[in-house]
Copies of this chain bind each other. A is one copy, B any other.
């Protein structure tokens, strides 16, 4: 069935316009101004200055902590940002699937940690194709003998070899071996598998929850450090430098500290992998960052702070009852799994200034294409007014957008970036 644009219409050959941007004919330094209504709302907007501040903040933290930074790219899936992260000093980009690795590598990212199992013939083929590029450096993780055999079969067949890290997990958690004996069993199996090079240990502490999470995480980190020391002593690693990598966006301070405590430190490449810091939010990651700051340590020496850099701008579509505004922004546009979006800025088209949203406005509910916002009964909000919303859980907002507007302080779009979800 033909799904090409119309052949016999006045709009033939017109470029399709993606959600949340302006006219496609000018996609670089477009000059579109949002306040002049030159882009379609709802739109996902990232403030250039804010994201650059976040970029520098986390790299500074990694530098001060003497750990390498491999930011998790799954949050944004935006190669434009991956390149900025590498240019700012990141050692690699972390990703979660073969599809994501392929997207990043095709856009020029040359060192990638896939912090996940590589499973399935076509997924292995994607990685194999990328490995044809001699400049491409790739790491993935394993936690089972079955996966080791499957990877061996595939990559031996291609005449290629693969760098792997053993994933260490926690009882009741996600992937990863549950104890040192399982890790040693895998290490020995990898040593006997010519297609695989064991080059490190990987973990993700973010699956540990509960009131005593901090204590449990400290214990887990200590156990991983001890295991790594034992494995180094057992001489199971192929490479002189052993990668030791963990950390999501909530506990990277504890992880950075632990990674640099390994006794045989000279052989360790310590790598943290936070991802959400780049966009940050006004929800779960703001809370997590506040806890990081309360724990103190090197984070207190980093200049500045993380700020929420992403907002969704949308119109007031309807004010059907006093005190209720229906906003043209829904589950199709913004994350809703970790708190609803929060009103941030307000602008009435053709007026002078963008101002802060009334602190009494609240999003109470969200449907596919609409949000329900309550306001004071005497609110002067009108249909056609523009409101921006900050979000909680940037990953699930980003994956709703194919193009995101990079905006300066005058609300002029300076670039339009492509996502690859």
Contacts and interface: CB of A to CB of B under 8 A. Distances in A.
Interface of A: 1-6, 9-11, 14, 16-20, 22, 36-41, 74, 79-80, 83-84, 96-99, 102-103, 105-108, 116-117, 119-123, 126, 129-130, 132-135, 143-144, 146-147, 150, 169, 171-178, 315-321, 326, 328, 331-332, 336-337, 349, 367-370, 372, 382-384, 386, 395-396, 399-400, 402, 415, 417-418, 420-421
Contacts of A150: 383-384
A320 B116 contact: no
B121 A1 contact: no
Contacts of A367: 174
Contacts of A6: 105-108, 133
A175 B96 contact: no
Number of identical protomers:
2
A227 B316 CA distance: 26
List the 4 closest pairs (A to B, CB-CB), nearest first: A37-B121, A175-B318, A146-B383, A117-B317
**Which residue among A20, A123, A178, A336 has the maximum number of chain B CB atoms within 10 Å of its CB?**
A123
A173 B324 CA distance: 10
A80 B1 CA distance: 7
Contacts of A332: 74, 395-396, 399, 421
A395 B383 contact: no
B119 A326 contact: no
A386 B120 CA distance: 9
**Which residue among A107, A369, A396, A420 has the maximum number of chain B CB atoms within 10 Å of its CB?**
A369
Contact of A320 (B143, B316, B320, B417): B143
B320 A178 contact: yes
